[in-house]
Structures are given as structure tokens and as C-alpha cells.
Amino acid sequence: MSPDLGKALLELADDNLILGHRLSEWCGHAPMLEEDLALPNMGLDLIGTARTLYTYACEIENSNKTEDDLAFLRNEREFLNCLLVERPNTNFAHTILKQLYFSIFMESYWAAALNSKDETIVGIAGKAKKEMAYHIRHSGEWVIRLGDGTAESHKKIVEAVDALHLYTNEIFINTQNTEFFIENNILPDRISLKSNWEKAIKSIFKQACIPYPKNDAELLGGRLGLHGEELGHLLASMQSVHRAHPGAKW
């Protein structure tokens, strides 16, 4: 298989798009007005990054496809996002923890990407890294508040850890396609970021009085297009308007 940078960028773009859409689902449903504004706005950050990555992927492929084609006209088996980001918004604790897991990883990833030989990737990384810093602060403060809060809030965040932590190992996997671009200093090595990620998560969990999971169980498959039914439901909602009115201009 020849290296395909466009496909490697889809892994990043799909992660950002799907998690961005999950955050947008809180609009009008968040537990307080501040979060009703904050969560969708963080979603917009992620969707904005996804758009830039999709556009660059189309340029690399030198095709007539657009960012809309990649976002709205692929089926679930064609999406390469990790399973973590597609997990449903079971409750506020699940959403906040998922955001913390992802944003701590991506902040380190974009920081490493600033050293890429690809100028476009460096430009994307510069903006995205700043956004992730805010996402970490926001979600981290909430995890601490929930964990060190009431008995009920502590119970909810611990349940979220039990449900979501086994999806985290997938974000550190380098797929066969991306290895070429890692060796040539175009994309960062995901594996190298794991120790710092664990250190950051453990620090926040300690402040939140949450035990760090010792279970090494993991769920994988998203990078291969193997997803749960949750992604199918998400795409049906996200893609419905575009598919109902193909080619429409706003």
C-alpha cells in the first residue's frame, strides 16, 4: 500500500468532526446557560479544524471533491475516526470526560505537529493547539468539580471513567498508512505522546478524587471503519439536510 497523506488527514478530520457534532448536540440541552454556549462553541472549534483538514485532503488528492463531500457523502464504514469520539452523550459527565481525554491528547499532538515539514499542517496546528488549551482548562475544571463535588456528581464521573477509558488506547495507535509520514517528519508519532497524556490525566484525576483505571482492556476498530451503531445514527442526523438537498447553496 502506497502512503496516502489524504487518508492520514481523514483520521484527524473525522475525529474532530464527529466529536464536534457530539458537542453541538448539547445546544439547547446543557445543564446551565454557560454550558449551553461553551459546549457548542468548542464544537465549532473542532468542526473548523475538520473543515481545514478536509480541504487540504481534497487538494492533495487533486480531485473535484469538497469538504462537504467528505463530511456528508461518506457512509459509516468510510469514516476513520476513533471510537471514543462517537460515543453518545449519555450525560454531562460523559461529555466532559470525553472532551478531556481528547483535548489533552490533541494539544500534545498539535504541539508536535508544529515541527512538521508540511507548512499547511504547521498552520493548522498553530491555531488548533491554542483552541485545545482552552478545551483542556474547561473540561479539566469540570472533571475536578464533578469528582470532588457531591456524592451524586462523583458517582456520575466515576461511571463515565468506567465506560470511556477503555476507548482511549486507540488514539495512540499509528496506522500502517501514517507510519511513512511519521518517519518523514510530516505527522507526529502518536505513541510517543501517551506517557505525557497519562501524567496529565492522573494529575486531574487526583485532584478530582477519581481512581485512575488499572484495567488494560481496550476497544479498537474505528481507524479501520469498524464502528458501533451510534455512528450510523449520528451520521443519519448530521448528513440528512445535505443528502435531501444535494448541491444546494446557502
The per-residue pLDDT for range 24-83, each reduced to its tens digit, is 999 988 888 889 899 999 999 999 999 999 999 999 988 789 999 999 999 999 999 999
Fill in the DSSP letter of residue 211: P
Report phi then psi at 137, rounded to 5. Answer: -60, -45
205 close to 212: Cβ distance less than 8 angstroms:
yes
Question: What per-residue confidence (pLDDT) applies to 1?
Answer: 55
Whether residue 250 is contained in a domain is answered as: no
Task: Give the angle 14-19-20 at the CA atoms, nearest 5°.
Answer: 95
Whether residue 141 is contained in a domain is answered as: yes
| Closest-CA residue to 14 (of 250, 235, 247) | 235
Whether residue 249 is contained in a domain is answered as: no
Domain residue limits at 157: 5-244
Question: What per-residue confidence (pLDDT) applies to 205?
Answer: 98
Task: Give the angle 121-59-113 at the CA atoms, nearest 5°.
Answer: 10
Instruction: Give the pLDDT band (50/70/90) at residue 172.
Output: very high
Whether residue 115 is contained in a domain is answered as: yes
100 close to 136: Cβ distance less than 8 angstroms:
yes
Please state the rounded mean pLDDT for residues 195-209: 98
Please state the rounded mean pLDDT for residues 161-188: 96
Q: Give the total number of structural domains in the chain.
A: 1
Average pLDDT, the chain: 95
pTM for the whole structure: 0.95
CATH number reported for the structural domain that contains residue 153 in this entry:
1.20.1260.10
Question: What per-residue confidence (pLDDT) applies to 148?
Answer: 97
